[in-house]
Amino acid sequence: MANNKTMYQEKFCTPEEAAKHVKTGDFIDYGFFNGKPVAFDRALAARKAELKDVVIQSCVTLLPVPEVVLKDPLGEAFTYHDVHFSPLTRIMQSKGAQNIYYAPPVLGESEMYSCPHDSASGKLGVQLRDVMALRTAPMDSEGFFNFGLSNSCTYEQAINAKVLIIEENGNMPNALGGAKEKIHISQVDYIIREDTPLGESPLKEPSDIDREIAKHVLEHIEDGCCVQLGIGGMPNALGKLISQTDLKDLGGHTEMLSDAYVDMFESGRMTGMKKTFDKGKIVYTFALGSSRLYDFVNNNDALASYNVSYSNHPINLAKIDKLISINQALKVDIYSQISAENSDFRQISGNGGMLDFVQGAYWSKGGKSLICLPSSYEDKNGELVSNILPIMPLGTTVTVPRQTVHMIVTEFGCANMKGASTWSRAERLIEIAHPAFREDLIRFAQTNRIWRRSSKIA
């Protein structure tokens, strides 16, 4: 059998040679997040005139802009699916790209989507992959390519693709496992090289409202809790706030590893020594943030990169004592339905693994799920608009159904929805709504017979 060095030489090729293996009608996986290939994408886009009906799926589009969108905005050859819309995806769509669509997952089950058949469960993959192209760290001395900042469902996508193309990149950090964080050269068909800088997600500066919400959330965190944070300004505010407290032995188990975890770890607040399993390790399935975070990931023994079926499975989450799940939403209606992904037919973000953690944290011994949002925002005309609505606008999808919601937090407080009736949910939400909109919400609730005025709201 050829040794690793010989196999590498045999499989190394140009991006153009690798792209020749795509055929009309193929379904292609690009690596998620910073796993998106750059040189391969450029070479594939150059074949636009030769191809038709090629579907490309990725997750959270980062710079550089995919050439398959730039060169084919009308979708004459390529259709681009994003499993979680990023600001860049929204910009591409707003600039007229007609070949971009959202592909909503339950992220924790997404490994099953690319499997041809799971004999244990009997589930059939929704789409067999013809080609997978992904960016990894360079091959190590044992012949492995590390997935770096994006583990997620990458291994299952890779081994189930008919053709696997690795684009190794010297800027990709080496993420220690965990599980399914790397693949061997013997499982790879072609290798190309491209050292484009990794895409960063700009740190959103927390607003005063973000800081107020973070203070309310902090009241639910005690020594030994295990913390999951979603994306956005408020989680970053919370991470900084936690790093300034005297909290002890916090743990980390999350879908997305963000810069907030660097703050909590380096301040000594997050040791993981009270975790029920993965003791001393911060578990995550992808990392997205600044170059500081990427440096933190590289060969860090305090971290464990896991596949998403492990990191997000609600049964695994329920086994973690005192799991505190903190995520952000866009809107909530008077029935306590949560939308965290779109509004008025416009895709803004994605549902990702929010539902996984909402359910898992509630079943955790001592755990809680907190969904946070500002009570209101200013529109482009400077008018104040409520994020707590009578009903969801037409074209707005529900990310978390009302019966699954645990706690909702705004800058005005925290409201527990579990076990509450419709009128009680309405009342609790009105209490944490912006004062300018409370009377309107009361009138709607009264008109629709979901209101029973109590002594709490005069």
What DSSP designation does 12 have? B
The type of residue at 146 is N
**Binning pLDDT at 50, 70 and 90, where does residue 345 land?**
confident
Alpha-carbon separation of residue 142 from 62, 192, 234 (angstroms):
30, 18, 41
Secondary structure class of 58 (helix, strand, coil): strand
Secondary structure class of 288 (helix, strand, coil): coil
Q: What's the pLDDT tens digit per position in 278-288?
A: 999 999 999 99
Q: Do 148 and 180 touch, CB atoms closer than 8 A? A: no
Are 4-193 and 208-447 equal in CATH topology?
A: yes
Stretch 15-44: mean pLDDT: 98
Stretch 98-122: mean pLDDT: 81
Domain spanning 208-447: CATH 3.40.470.10: no
Can you give the pLDDT at residue 457?
Answer: 53
Can you give the pLDDT at residue 145?
Answer: 98
What DSSP designation does 265 have? H
φ, ψ of residue 423 in degrees (nearest 5): -70, -35
Count CA atoms within 13 Å of residue 358 on its CB side. 28
Share of the chain above pLDDT 70, in %: 96
Q: How far apart are CA 309 and CA 175, in angstroms?
A: 17
283, 272, 278: which is closest to 307 by C-alpha? 283
The type of residue at 431 is E
**Binning pLDDT at 50, 70 and 90, where does residue 120 land?**
low
Q: Mean pLDDT for the chain? A: 94
Q: Can you tell me which residue has the tokens 């999951």?
A: 228
Residue positions annotated with a catalytic role: 255
Which tokens go with 219?
């009241």
Residue 260: count of CB within 10 angstroms of its CB: 29
Q: What is the number of residues in the chain?
A: 458
Which tokens go with 155?
């291994």
Q: How far apart are CA 372 and CA 364, in angstroms?
A: 19
Pairing of strands 376-378, 384-386: antiparallel
Q: What's the pLDDT tens digit per position in 239-275?
A: 889 999 999 999 999 999 999 999 999 999 999 999 9
Return the CATH architecture of domain 4-193. Answer: 3-Layer(aba) Sandwich (3.40)
Q: Which residues make Cβ contacts (< 8 Å) with residue 141, sequence separation at least 6?
A: none
Give strand ranges (E) for 107-261.
131-136, 144-146, 163-168, 182-184, 190-193, 226-229, 251-252, 256-257
**Binning pLDDT at 50, 70 and 90, where does residue 458 land?**
very low
Segments making up each domain of the chain, as ranges: 4-193, 208-447
Q: Can you tell me which residue has the tokens 């080496």?
A: 174
